[in-house]
Amino acid sequence: MIRIDHILCPVDRSEISRVALDHARTLARWYGASLSLMEVVWPGMPPLTIPTLAAAEAGFNLLEPEERASYLSALRAFCGPAPAGVTEQVELLEGPIVDVILQRTVKEGAQLIVMGTHGRSGFDRLLLGSIAEKVMRKAACPVLLVPPHLADDPHPPKLPYRTIVCAVDFSPASCKALAHAISLAQESAARLVLTHVLTWPTEQEMASDFSLSVCAFAESLKDAAQRRLRASVSDEARQWCQTSEIVTSGKPHEQITRLAIAEHADLIVMGVHSRNAVVTPFFGSTANQVGRHGRCPVLIVRP
């Protein structure tokens, strides 16, 4: 079973971080975990100066006392009082945002980070990067991404989960993610849907553009993936967890998002791979794409 004693929730006082805060509090109450709410202010960006960076790393406050008091007051007003049954602390921190979040995760021994992800794309994202994506690729614990679409959902988050979709590509990262998904399904008595996406043309495209032999080869790949998915869950786990396996083809993030919607999933679980920092901003990642375009929270697990 997954043990969560402490949850970290970075916020930026946006609407999606308010939704992430609701999810973090719901999870804290469910697990009986303590909760750290934090906003990270980075006055040195832009422009980034060596003296400013050195001061932040040395632990000096970069904000003037009046500015800091104003930020802290706004943060406390944003968070409001802790709900019944949740123990939490609210902090205002200064420094490079991703570095501060990662360092705080290790320092506090957090087992989960919960944060909203903005659906930003294009040139703005290329210049500024994605804080959520950087955190999920480097964090010492799993990261629950709350996609921007949930800002429009009038229903408050709730547990236990009813349906969990777990994307599996048979890598070490996705195998660890599957272990998390099985444990969560056991805790919640949830239905678990395993999916593997073949980066292969769709059945309609194969029928019109490919020979019979190529179509047969694609079908054999699909059957093999189906068997591997089936074998990835033990018979013991299947006794207390309703499990199904679905193999599709196409763009992974589109297929995973579409399946989660079709299955009315409450949670998507998937692994994340380390990628070259230059490649990722241009081409994105499956986990980041699902986190930005999904209709339910996405739990990201590193290998």
Of 241, 255, 233, 240, which is closest to residue 167 (Cα–Cα)?
255
State the amino acid at position 98 in one-letter form.
V
Kindly tell me if the per-residue pLDDT of 166 is higher than 60: yes
**CA gyration radius, the chain:** 21
Of 141, 140, 139, 117, which is closest to residue 129 (Cα–Cα)?
117
Helix (H), strand (E), coil (C) string for the chain: CCCCCEEEEECCCCHHHHHHHHHHHHHHHHHCCEEEEEEEECCCCCCCCHHHHHHHHCCCCCCCHHHHHHHHHHHHHHHCCCCCCCCEEEEEEECCHHHHHHHHHHHHCCCEEEEECCCCCCHHHHHHCCHHHHHHHHCCCCEEEECHHHHHCCCCCCCCCCEEEEECCCCHHHHHHHHHHHHHHHHHCCEEEEEEEECCCCHHHHHHHCCHHHHHHHHHHHHHHHHHHHHCCCHHHHHHCCEEEEEEECCHHHHHHHHHHHCCCCEEEEECCCCCCCHHHHHCCHHHHHHHHCCCCEEEECC
pLDDT per position as a tens digit, 32-77:
999 999 999 986 554 444 444 455 554 556 788 899 999 999 999 9
- Among 65-79, 189-203, 214-228, the range of highest mean pLDDT: 65-79
- Mean pLDDT score, 182-207: 81
Of 147, 196, 179, 172, which is closest to residue 273 (Cα–Cα)?
172
Report whether the peptide linkage leading into residue 160 is cis, meaning its omega lies within 30 degrees of zero.
Answer: yes
- Check residue 122 and give its pLDDT: 45
CA dihedral sign of residues 221, 226, 227, 231: positive
Of 280, 302, 293, which is closest to residue 129 (Cα–Cα)?
280
pLDDT per position as a tens digit, 236-258:
888 888 999 999 999 999 999 99
Distance CA 65, CA 62 (A): 9
The angle that helices 131-138 and 97-108 make with each other, rounded to 10 degrees, is 40
Report whether the peptide linkage leading into residue 47 is cis, meaning its omega lies within 30 degrees of zero.
Answer: yes
pLDDT per position as a tens digit, 110-163:
999 999 987 554 444 443 447 888 899 999 999 999 999 898 888 889 899 999
For the chain, what percent of residues have pLDDT higher than 70? 81
Q: CA dihedral in degrees (217, 221, 226, 228; nearest 10)?
A: 140
Q: Which domains does the chain have, with CATH numbers?
A: 1-159 (3.40.50.620), 160-303 (3.40.50.620)
CB neighbour list of residue 202: distance below 8 Å, 6 or more residues apart: 249, 250
